[in-house]
Amino acid sequence: MNKREDTPKDRGCLVAVIFFILGLGTLLPWNFFMTASMYFNNRLNTSEWSNGTITTRTEYYFNNWMTLLSQLPLLVFTLLNSILYQWISERMRIAGSLVVILLLFILTAALVKVPMEEDRFFSVTMATIWFINSFGAVLQGSLFGLVGLLPQRYSAIFMSGQGLAGTFAALAMIFAIASEADSESAALGYFITPCVGTFITLISYMLLPKLAFARFYLDSKSKSYELEPSIQLLPTGILTKLPTV
């Protein structure tokens, strides 16, 4: 009997929905962070009156540093992820990255209401950008490996979720401008929304192994990967004597 006949069904398209959420959750946080660039520039590049003249403070070139410190860790940690998978389990890489990103956005949202010296705020923000993109690279690379174990249409669903993340961020900016909200209130919305989205993404990932359809593909693939090294360790003479099925 063909093995395909025993494949469980994706009841209610729950696995498809979960991978759509996972795709959305990989890019939604960073897209919302970039949308708040006006808030960061307003908080850093301020000017003050002194003896009737305007004194401009330090120019931080926030957008330039944000671009550099977001792209560099994406490159480095995407490469490192191809090595990390040998020692760190998939569950730890994905769930751990989501938890760290969630904590970083909670910190960023809290700092909106915390007065801070500009130099210190700039340093904290740059460190946050670095770590968000570092863990984001590990998360995205690990999820691409995970969705690759399922039928091809799930990869398309996953990437559709990623595409929608940018649309949500753009709509959020339009609504913030239309409502004429101040930069601080808008920034709170930009940072709280990814917190909610990341939490939902984490819950969705934890539910994935409980679904029979996902378990069928993930378990069978992991067993085949475990079998390959053991076969390679067998002497060539023994392999020739193994019965054929």
Provide the pLDDT for residue 48: 56
In CATH, which superfamily holds the domain spanning 10-227? MFS general substrate transporter like domains (1.20.1250.20)
| DSSP strands (E only) in the chain | 47-50, 53-56
Q: What band does 192 get if pLDDT is binned at 50, 70 and 90?
A: very high
- Of 27-36, 47-56, 60-69, 200-209, the poorest mean pLDDT is in 47-56
From 187, 200, 42, 175, select the one nearest 109 (Cα to Cα). Answer: 187
- Which is higher by pLDDT, 235 or 169? 169
CA distance 45 to 40: 8
CA distance 41 to 53: 22
CA distance 172 to 193: 10
Q: What band does 194 get if pLDDT is binned at 50, 70 and 90?
A: very high
Residue in the structure block whose two tokens are 């409980």: 210
The pTM (predicted TM-score) of the whole model is 0.83
Counting beta carbons within 10 angstroms of the beta carbon of residue 209, is it exposed (0 to 12), middle (13 to 18) or buried (19 or more)? exposed
Provide the pLDDT for residue 218: 83
Q: Where are the domains of the chain?
A: 10-227
CA distance 223 to 229: 11
* Cβ contacts of 39 within 8 Å, gap of 6 or more: 112, 183, 184, 186, 187, 190
Provide the pLDDT for residue 217: 86
Task: Work out the number of other CB atoms within 10 angstroms of the CB of residue 179.
Answer: 10
- Which is higher by pLDDT, 116 or 57? 116
Mean pLDDT of all residues in 228-233 = 38
Identify the DSSP state of 182: -
From 176, 140, 171, select the one nearest 158 (Cα to Cα). Answer: 140
Provide the pLDDT for residue 221: 56
* Paired strand residues for 148: none
What percent of the chain has pLDDT above 90?
47
Provide the pLDDT for residue 31: 92
pLDDT digits (tens, 9 = 90+) for 166-188: 898 888 888 888 887 787 888 89
Average pLDDT of the chain? 83
- Of 109-118, 150-159, 196-205, 228-237, the poorest mean pLDDT is in 228-237
